Structure 1
Amino acid sequence: MKAMGTSAPDAVDLVAAHADHPSGVLALNTGTVRRPGTSVPGVVAYRRGRRHTVQFAGPFAAPADRDRLLEEFLEELAGDRGRPPRLTAAQLRADDVARYEARGFRVNQIGTSYSIDLARFTVRGKALAKVRQNVSRARREGVVVTEEDSLAPQPELDAIDAAWLRAKGRHVKELDFLIGERGGLAAPLRRTFVARVEGRAVGYITYSPAWGSRPGFLYDLTRRSPAAPVGTVELVNLTALERFRAEGVDWLHLGLTPFAGLSAAHAPTSASPMLDRALRLIAEHGKAVYPARTQEAFKLKWAPHVIEPEYAAFQGGPRLGSVWNLLRITNSL
């Protein structure tokens, strides 16, 4: 399949117009191909492997056009010369499940996403006690948070990224495809909040726009230096959250945590029991792959108002090659 995509301005406009997904902005990541619809308006975001293609989320289109847009994409894959690549679709929402099952895919829950309704958010009460405690500690340690220009050169943030990776170990790579980035097409739309102690940057969080039925911002990328005081990340996020709420923003999405919140109650009828067991093993013992429990605990302490499963769909079933390729293309291996 020949990779075909849109120009940069067209890609941003297409995704913004049609992505009804809290993490839809990730379709704009560097290295991701965005295929525009030909018979219906919309876009499909994907990355191509040697024998497998990984799609990000479902087809981005109006509800009535999503089936047709997916059919276009599947027909294009099937028409590839030689051996047609198998398709895996990651970060599907619940309303995508039946669409892929109807086309012979097997669908498994891969994690859970979390969202805060800013109109209902309050820092008071028992649920946010840990957040308040950590924020107070960071302030006592002299942490100050400011919003800074996302497009300006940021060598201090580059240094934090490098220190963060070193602290994770020499074999750890940054995850890709399913998390945000500091550059790329979405850079002009991104907002960056930086924590400083005595003028020195010790951490940051970037927020990217979220479109669709729950518009707002996505908590996109977070980094802290090993020397950052306890509570730094909480103070950055609370500062941004309060800024967004004052501006009338509706939602703050905390994004997907892979391998978290796996539940039989969310299992589609087509789910592979073998893959489900493997994902649960990773959730319980796979800290080296992804720190699911730590990430889940951080998101739950913000008392999110919407907690929903996300899925992956495997064409022809979740074979070893398709699962391995999904992990590889997200840099989990």
Structure 2
Amino acid sequence: MTAGPAAVTDREVARAVELLRAHADHPSAALALNGATHRYQGRDADGLVAYTRRGRRDVVQFAAPFAAPAERGRLLDEFLGRLASGPGAPPRLTAAQVGRADVGLYAERGFTVNQVGSTYGIDLARFTSRGKALAKVRQNVNRARRDGVTVVETDPGDPGDRRELDAIDAEWLAAKGRHVKELSFLIGERGGPAAPLRRTFLARHDGRTVGYITYSPVWGSRPGWLYDLTRRSPRAPVGTVELVNLTALGRFQEEGAPWLHLGLTPFAGLDDRHEPEGASRGMTKALRLVAEHGRLVYPARSQEAFKLKWAPHAIEPEYVAFQGGVRPVPLWHLLRTTGSI
């Protein structure tokens, strides 16, 4: 396995997509196709492991192994063995965004597992924009429409649209500050190997593109689409993002898609009921502290509020698993990987 960015070939991507279609049951599984993400394909177990390297000794895995339920433990063992086979001390593995059904895989292998946040999903068969629950969404959408915002689905390969989306990205990064860098592991991306699978809806105002949202496919028991990457110009009128998402949501409903997933919010929905046996008490306290007071560390409350105002029908805990217990350096690399610091 290489230590640098993953070298992606069309054949490798096609096989990865095939494995995800067959085995993935995680709402954010398409993130395993990001261009800078490594993908280990099983030799003895049919499936793949998505991961990135951090520092000299740390590996951060995205979700649990993507394999049939009966094969996930075997694939995890195979991957751990592969990591341990290199020269020097074996890397330490931290698995982020592990679903509840896979917590036992890591606990059985001596990992310390804690809830890290929650993921949200909308059942499109039951969704309606009417009623009190969606009042704030309707208010913002109507305001954007009065201001003249329109939404279209676009081909991200169109050169003209691509230039406009590049300009939005540049504005967004500039507004965040010169030290902010784009993440490429636990959030979506424009372009990359998964580009042909993604859909992009953009907002226009006064003849200019002022924002966009990309959506990635979701496979498994709750198939549909993942609200993936959002970018908004500082000039975009209030309600632009809500109008884009409501437009896309309506399109997905018309097409018969079962679910729209809103993705993980770290530090949100933390609850003692979700903590597995053997969870680190210190880690639990630290995560709750960030959830309550860590606006400068990560905007968990604002992200959670945005997702909750869509009245999601499913809110599920997600977990982080530390090989050998919670230690400062792996925790640091996890926070850097998730963009929390």
State how far apart, in whole Å, the 2-side matches of 1:225 and 1:283 are. 27
Q: Report the equivalent of 1:7.
A: 12
Greater shift in the superposed pair: 30-39 or 303-312: 30-39
State how far apart, in whole Å, the 2-side matches of 1:18 and 1:32 are. 18
Q: Report the equivalent of 1:292.
A: 300
Which letter maps to 1:202?
V
Q: CA deviation at 1:332?
A: 3.6
State how far apart, in whole Å, the 2-side matches of 1:288 and 1:183 are. 30
Asked if 1:60 corresponds to 2:66, the answer is yes
User: Does the residue aligned with 1:214 lie in a helix, a strand or coil?
Assistant: coil
Counterparts in 2 of 1:150-229, with a 5 A limit? 150-153=156-159, 154-229=162-237
State how far apart, in whole Å, the 2-side matches of 1:163 and 1:271 are. 41
Q: Report the equivalent of 2:51.
A: 46
Which letter maps to 2:316?
E
Q: Deviations over 1:245-293 (max 9, x none)?
A: 0001110000000111111111111211111111112212222222110
User: Does the residue aligned with 1:130 lie in a helix, a strand or coil?
Assistant: helix
Which letter maps to 2:39?
R
Asked if 1:116 corresponds to 2:122, the answer is yes
Which letter maps to 2:31?
L
State how far apart, in whole Å, the 1-side matches of 2:205 and 2:331 are. 43
Greater shift in the superposed pair: 274-283 or 166-175: 166-175
User: Contact conserved, 2:186 with 2:337, CA < 8 A, in 1?
Assistant: no
Q: Report the equivalent of 2:86.
A: 80
Which letter maps to 2:48?
V
User: Contact conserved, 2:118 with 2:270, CA < 8 A, in 1?
Assistant: yes
Q: CA deviation at 1:295?
A: 0.5
Q: Deviations over 1:171-213 (max 9, x none)?
A: 3333331100011111001100000012210110000100111
User: Contact conserved, 1:108 with 1:271, CA < 8 A, in 2?
Assistant: yes
Q: CA deviation at 1:28?
A: 0.5
| TM-score between the two structures when normalised by the length of structure 2 | 0.95
Counterparts in 2 of 1:228-307, with a 5 A limit? 228-307=236-315
Aligned length: 333
Asked if 1:27 corresponds to 2:32, the answer is yes
Q: CA deviation at 1:104?
A: 0.1
1:127 pairs, out of 133, 136, 149, with 133
User: Does the residue aligned with 1:308 lie in a helix, a strand or coil?
Assistant: strand
Q: Would the alpha carbon gap of residues 324 and 70 (structure 1) be closer, same or farther in structure 2, given more than 3 Å must change? A: same
**Taking every aligned residue pair, what percent have the same amino acid on both sides?**
69
State how far apart, in whole Å, the 1-side matches of 2:130 and 2:227 are. 21
State how far apart, in whole Å, the 2-side matches of 1:117 and 1:281 are. 32
User: Does the residue aligned with 2:303 lie in a helix, a strand or coil?
Assistant: helix
User: Contact conserved, 2:215 with 2:227, CA < 8 A, in 1?
Assistant: yes
Unmatched 5+ residue regions in structure 2? none
Q: Would the alpha carbon gap of residues 225 and 2 (structure 1) be closer, same or farther in structure 2, given more than 3 Å must change? A: closer
Unmatched 5+ residue regions in structure 1? none
Greater shift in the superposed pair: 17-26 or 147-156: 147-156
Which letter maps to 2:114?
N
1:94 pairs, out of 90, 100, 103, with 100
State how far apart, in whole Å, the 2-side matches of 1:151 and 1:252 are. 24
Which letter maps to 2:105?
R
User: Does the residue aligned with 1:296 lie in a helix, a strand or coil?
Assistant: helix
Which letter maps to 2:68?
A
Which letter maps to 1:130?
K
User: Contact conserved, 2:36 with 2:184, CA < 8 A, in 1?
Assistant: no
User: Does the residue aligned with 1:317 lie in a helix, a strand or coil?
Assistant: coil
Which letter maps to 1:227?
R
User: Contact conserved, 2:62 with 2:96, CA < 8 A, in 1?
Assistant: yes
User: Contact conserved, 2:116 with 2:287, CA < 8 A, in 1?
Assistant: yes
Which letter maps to 2:29?
G
State how far apart, in whole Å, the 1-side matches of 2:337 and 2:140 are. 35
State how far apart, in whole Å, the 1-side matches of 2:241 and 2:30 are. 22
